[in-house]
Amino acid sequence: MAKTITLEVARYRPEQEGEPAFENFDVPLNKDWVVLDALNYIKDKLDGSLSYRWSCRMGVCGSCGMMVNGEPKLTCATFLTAYDPGPIRVEPLRYFPIVRDLVVEITDFMSKLKAVKPWIVRDEEKPISEGEYLQTPRQLDNFKQFSMCINCLCCYAACPVVGLDQHFIGPAAIALAQRYNEDSRDQGKEERMDVLSQHDGIWGCTFNGECTRVCPKNVDPAGAIQQYKIKAVTDWYKSLLMPWGKK
Amino acid sequence: MDTSAHDVLLVGGGGAGLRAAIAISEFNPKLSVAVVSKVYPMRSHTVSAEGGAAGVIKPNDTLDEHCYDTISGGDWMCDQDAVELFVREAPKELLRLEHWGCPWSREPDGHVAVRPFGGMKNERTWFAADKTGFHMLHTLFQTSLKYPSVRRYDEWFVTKLLIDDGQVRGVVAIELMTGRIQAILAKSVIICTGGCGKVFPFTTNANIKNGDGMSLALRAGAPLKDMEFVQYHPTGLPFTGILITEAARAEGGWLLNKDGYRYLQDYNLGKPEPTPVLRSMELGPRDRLSQAFVKEYEKGRTIETPYGHVVHLDVRHLGEKKINAKIPFVRELCLKYQGIDPVREMIPVRPVVHYMMGGVSTDINAATPIKGLFAAGEAACVSINGANRLGSNSLTELLVFGARAGLHAAQFASEQKEGNTAAILAQAIDEKRRVEDQFLNKTAGRESISTIREEMQKAMEEGAGIYRTHDSLAKAAETIGKLQERFKDIAISDHSHTFNTELTAAFELSYMLDVAEAIIACALNRKESRGSHQRTDFTKRDDEKFLAHSLVYRNADGSTRVEYLPVTITRWPPAERVYGK
Ligand SMILES: Cc1cc2nc3c(=O)[nH]c(=O)nc-3n(C[C@H](O)[C@H](O)[C@H](O)COP(=O)(O)OP(=O)(O)OC[C@H]3O[C@@H](n4cnc5c(N)ncnc54)[C@H](O)[C@@H]3O)c2cc1C
Ligand code: FES
């Protein structure tokens, strides 16, 4: 028989079990398989009741984030061979409530996302007939990397502040706020700054940079938080020294 | 039974669904809009579109040329009134998205940049690097958050359309988190459930693309249109089926056979030039390129791999800088999923099922024949894509017809009164019972979901692939018929109410079987070759008999019936498709 590898998969069915437990499955160690392929193999061939989220299998829909041997990973972009000879431990994303097996509850994140007003805010809309807002490639580069977030939530599962304080709005939401703040077409920065300053936790961020390190899309949420703090501090100084200078 | 009620309900929160939701909110913020989606909207498959979205914006381009490219690309199966409307609205919709923040790639002077694309005579494809769909979807989703009238049902799975007296009244859906089965009533409903690539074994489509809405509409009595037209994209990575966008060829990539020869020159697609020539060679239409691959294979000029035969896509001569600037995602995907670096190595590729030209039949206002029921996006067929869609027309279609569906569904809803609630609720209760008895609580059953799925996919590939014959299709029809029977004996081991994905997988399989049946029925009846539908027993296009859309219905006894609807021709009479000249 071809070589196999053992997956230790966290199972939790709230209607049956009081708490999560691990279940082992042996799967073929196919060199082209990612962890997600192994989960699909389990679901199709071994145990149809295993639950997890996935869709695109190309690292862009953000559904398949899980803990793989303790690290937050996109399971569709994580090859089995990297863990040979195993075992590979697959768990739901850390710091989120578990719904079932590998599925976590993300409604809290969804409301945080909305809270930062992730849309273009303008005092005045230009009519479509007048064409596009001009934006040079350099202006685009200012916010581009913050727009690459796929909401996979690996950064939340890596962030020690999220672990301590569930109210912390979190790396991805701050990066998204910064994505709009830095967009030359946007005029909503002040509104967004107000939102961020109302949320706890941001000052607790110690810049250990875990969010940036684990991001599968090379977004730099730690950089966004840094930018935000600098802006907040200068705004605070400005409001002290020259209260008229804010807007 | 739990119920909720809205004015307009959208099944699907992808590009088409979200654009519709915004259109409704802007039409009248007092209308309550429900977006019901089996995944969080930003996970919808629009997210994976790479290359771009077509719309005339540059001074050297014209609306008529975009029309002509689309119509000839579609082998004259497009309704030309719909194409004209589409092309006219396209630039406005793309600009609207720009105003909402979509990070379109730019010219040095700050104007939106465009790139060439297959089958297009001019450069008119707007792009956000090679993650266009991702940026469009996130822009639409984030923008939709600012409208308080939009109520989202995230991770709710629709199992049925509620129809009373010939009019749609809502849906029945399962909330995945809790297993609760609920009736969500509405005065109008828009189906925006996307495509159905998973009917085939090898596809660029995500796990969630199972033709749900097509099957729901068919079961509700609405016809599907042009289901025989299935697009194979010429360049998918072997094994995964991950798409290597046409943009790779538009930027100058070459297709080479095992001898390093640009084989497309042998297939009436023009002469090889060092730099890309529009509507020529690698920038020919997808149907012709995928067919050329099969011919090369038959000549023994492809390369064998463990995951089927391939040819090579060579972008090395573009250089690292251009690759990083214009097609960074191509490089990322090759590095991460194929273990090769396109800067230094050739990319193995083969044709892969990609897009469904057919779908729920609608008129130019996105309305289906069922009162109050609309459809938009890949799930719908207006039709602007005819027998072969041009790359980058689909993303624009989501916007143009998503908005249009939203507007017309909103107007329709505004004119309606409450329906016969008792009758509708009785129907909903029946549906709840069906979900429970035939799926959730079912203890007997011997057939495995994955086995039936694999057999269906195999039958479709063998019988209804790039080239088809009566015999191959008839055999596939027989297999699918048997699988439909076997499906009734499906085994479900998971009886949990909490995030039961075995339950949804079973439903998805049942939808796919319906769609597979519809594809085969249309393909069997169309005794000609046109666009993506190539019959080796009828090799010519036959305008006399088949310049008409197939409409496939489901009869009361469960069998299918195909009728025809003439194609609308306005200014471009049927002609030969000419490329490379
Ligand atoms: C890899 C790839 C690359 C592509 N690149 C391009 C490109 O460059 N240019 C271009 O023009 N086109 C491209 N396309 C095609 C284009 O992306 C799709 O046709 C389009 O995005 C489909 O959008 P949609 O809104 O119709 O559906 P989707 O985005 O697929 O959304 C479907 C929605 O329906 C919901 N849904 C489905 N079933 C149910 C159910 N039973 N209950 C509740 N909700 C349900 C889903 O949750 C989802 O929200 C590409 C396609 C692929 C696969
Ligand atoms: S399945 Fe979409 S990111 Fe992994």
- Mark yes or no for CB contact B99/A128 under 8 Å: yes
For B458, residues 6+ apart whose C-beta sits below 8 A from its C-beta are: B201
Residue of B nearest to A74 (CA): B336
pLDDT at A175 over 90: yes
Residue of B155, B498, B507 to mutate, testing the A interface (most A Cβ within 10 Å of its Cβ):
B498
Query: B43, B136, B210: best mutation site toward chain A, by most A Cβ within 10 Å?
Result: B43
B12 in ligand 1 pocket by Cβ < 6 Å? yes
Torsion over CA of B205, A55, A34 and B322, rounded to 10 degrees?
60
**Which atom of ligand 2 is nearest the CA belonging to B48?**
2
- Comparing C-alpha atoms, which of A48, A44, A36, A45 is closest to residue A7? A36
The interface residues of chain A toward chain B in range 89-108, judged by CB-CB distance below 8 A, are 99-101, 103, 105-106
Using the predicted structure, report yes or no on whether residue A194 has a pLDDT greater than 90.
Answer: no
Residue A130 in this model has a pLDDT that exceeds 70: yes
Residue whose C-alpha is closest to residue B389's, from B200, B267, B230, B244 = B230
pLDDT of residue A247: 39
Render pLDDT for A87-108 as a digit per residue (tens, 0 to 9): 999 999 999 999 999 999 999 9
Cβ-proximal residues to A140 (8 Å cutoff; 6+ apart), any chain: B103, B105, B106
Q: Which of B18, B26, B39, B42 to mutate to test the interface with A (most CBs of A within 10 A)?
A: B42
Say if ligand 1 is within 6 A of residue B15 CB.
yes
What angle, 0 to 180 degrees and rounded to 10, lies between the N-to-C axes of helices A107-115 and A171-181?
Answer: 20
Beta bridge partners of B230: B356
Residue B368 near ligand 1, beta carbon < 6 Å: no
- B233: phi then psi, degrees, rounded to nearest 5: -85, 135
B401 closest CA partner among B29, B15, B38? B15
pLDDT at A177: 94
Q: How many CB pairs under 8 A join A and B?
A: 158
Please determine, for residue A243, whether its predicted confidence score (pLDDT) is greater than 60.
Answer: no
Least Cα distance to B254 among B317, B310, B301, B204 occurs for B317
Percent of chain A whose predicted confidence (pLDDT) is above 90: 76
Q: Do residue A51 and residue B497 have CB atoms under 8 angstroms apart?
A: no
- Positions of chain B with pLDDT lower than 50, given as ranges: none
Please give, rounded to a whole number of angstroms, the shortest distance from the CA of A8 to a CA of chain B: 20
pLDDT 10s digits, A33-55: 999 999 999 999 999 999 999 99
Global pTM value: 0.96
- pLDDT band of residue A236 (cuts 50, 70, 90) is low
- Local confidence band at A193 (pLDDT 50, 70, 90 cut-offs): confident
User: Does the structure show a pLDDT above 80 at A198?
Assistant: no
Average pLDDT over residues A13-40: 95
Beta bridge partners of B508: none
**Residues of chain B neighbouring A134 (CB-CB closer than 8 A):** 109-111
Looking at residue A233, what is its pLDDT? 72
- Computed over every residue of chain B, the mean pLDDT equals 97
User: Is B233 annotated in the active site?
Assistant: yes
Chain A residue numbers touching B336 (CB-CB < 8 A): 59, 77
Dmax of chain A from CA atoms? 76
A153 lines ligand 2 (CB under 6 A): no
d(CA A186, CA A121): 5
Q: Which of B241, B46, B262 is nearest to B136 (CA)?
A: B46
Shortest CA gap B312–chain A (Å): 19
Report residue B171: phi and psi, to 5°: -140, 165
Pick the closest to residue B190 from B429, B426, B6, B396 (CA basis).
B6
Q: Is the CB of A24 under 6 A from ligand 2?
A: no
Cα–Cα distance between A112 and A106 in angstroms, integer? 10
Per annotation, catalytic residue among B45, B169, B249, B526: B249
Counting residues of chain A whose pLDDT is more than 70, the rounded percentage is 94
Q: Give contacts of A43 with chain B, Cβ < 8 Å.
A: 450, 501-502, 505
For the segment A199-219, the average pLDDT, to the nearest whole number, is 84
Nearest residue on chain B to A118, judged by CA atoms? Answer: B142
Whether the predicted pLDDT of A245 surpasses 90: no
Q: Give burial (CB, 10 Å; 0-12/13-18/19+) of B500.
A: buried
Per the CB < 8 A criterion, the answer to whether B246 and B125 are in contact is no
Instruction: Tell me the CA–centroid distance for residue B415 and ligand 1, in Å.
Output: 30
Q: Which domains does chain A have, with CATH numbers?
A: 4-104 (3.10.20.30), 107-245 (1.10.1060.10)
Q: What sign has the CA pseudo-torsion B551, B552, B555, B560?
A: positive
pLDDT of residue A1: 56
